[in-house]
Structure 1
Amino acid sequence: MKQARSPKKSMGSGQIRIISGQWRGRKLPIHDLEGLRPTTDRVKETVFNWLAPYMLNAKVLDAFSGSGSLGFEALSRYASHATFFELQRQAAQQLKSNLALLNCSNAEVVQTDTLKQLLTPPEQAFDLIFIDPPFNKGLVEPCLKYIAQNKWLTSDGIIYLEIEKQLQLPQLPVNWQIIKDKTAGQVRFLIIANQA
């Protein structure tokens, strides 16, 4: 009886908010799935202030999309295209629904294992890659390695990396440089620039 009265609660859903750009203030529904940890508005605000010079017309990859919070924010701020990689079927479907809700045609959702996807070189490299994987799963090191190895990032591209504070950052390729680095609570977030 209780579930019938409140289906939203039983599905465990929530929402994310787009903080700036053409869809400023729009709220998008998300499923409360295991490992889903949307970037907080406070962190997102800082990050997108950092990324402002690189955003316009950027080709963006949201590598572990989850709620799509980072990719949607980039599209709202006039990135030219966004690709969302997401492993969980339910989350991938929600990303597609939210793109339709925004009437957004310059994005695609690929339901895939991100690490497997990164093993193959892309048709075209990305200007900006968001890496915000589930914590404590050992995904950061191989992810960065495959991006460098298979040239997923343009020669002057930018990576946004969000990791657990205690994680030891793997050695970066010589041409990659950390240009911003901040910690908020249990989260460390960085901007890495490819200066090839």
Structure 2
Amino acid sequence: MNKKKKFKKNTLKIIGGKLKRQKINIIHSKNLRPTKNFIRETLFNWLNKYIQNSICLDCFAGSGILGIESISRYAKLVTSLEINKKIFFKMYKNLKKLNIHEINIININALQWLKKKENTYDIIFLDPPYNCLQLLQKTIFLLEKNKYTKKNTIIYIEKKISKQKIEIPKTWILKKSKKQKKIEYKIYLKK
């Protein structure tokens, strides 16, 4: 009898850089959907010449894997925003376990945090929950309004493919784009 065992994967593997093959633990939550390995590999191939010594912002950190991959590939500093307390504390434990000090994690609603002027960033990751296009749109608006982007900032957007369009600022130039099953991901360069 051939029975398939159903189990939920509770770890993610870092796919590149100085922390390659290290694992982080994740919480299973309907609101947590970590970026898949093949997408992360493509993304960081796209970012390869920009990531070293960059200052990054991850607006919807979740598992924290995009920030951790960035530090693994020698980004200088990452600010990670996460609203869910359980997910935030799991990320905190993972950073402690991996001895990562270059990620500043903040337990806050991204929109609330973005309403104040904080800093400009070299790379910004926008990977909100998939069914929240309005949240993505508001985030893009606040990034521009409060000048979190500067000339040559790279903005990564990952979202579910949808007929509903999001409005991208005219100063953001599409550089790379890919679709996988129900997901689309793109990088823009601020001109």
Q: TM-score, length-normalised on structure 2? A: 0.92
> Identity rate of aligned residues, in percent?
32
1:117 aligns with 2:113: yes
How far does residue 104 in structure 1 lie from its aligned partner after superposition?
Answer: 1.1
Alignment length (residue pairs): 184
Residue 130 of structure 2 is aligned with which of 126, 135, 150?
Answer: 135
* Structure 1 residue aligned with 2:158: 162
1:42 pairs with 2:38:
yes
Letter in 1 for 2:126: I
Alignment-derived partner of residue 192 in structure 1: 188
Name the CA distance, whole Å, in 2 between partners of 1:179 and 1:104: 30
Secondary structure at the aligned position of 1:72 is classed as helix
SS at match of 1:161: strand
Please, what is the CA RMSD of the aligned residues?
Answer: 1.4
> What aligned pairs does 1:3-42 form with structure 2 within 5 A after superposition?
14-42=10-38
Partner of 1:56: 52
- For residues 40-63 of structure 1, give each alpha carbon's deviation from its aligned partner in whole angstroms, at most 9, with x where no partner exists: 101110111001111000001111
* Structure 1: runs of 5+ lacking an equivalent: 1-8
Deviations 1:99-132 (A, max 9, x none): 111111111110000011111111x211101100
Contact 1:115–1:142 under 8 Å retained in 2? yes
Measure the CA separation in 2 of the matches of 1:118 and 1:26: 31
> Quick one: which of 70, 77, 87 aligns to 1:74?
70
Which structure carries more strand by proportion? 1
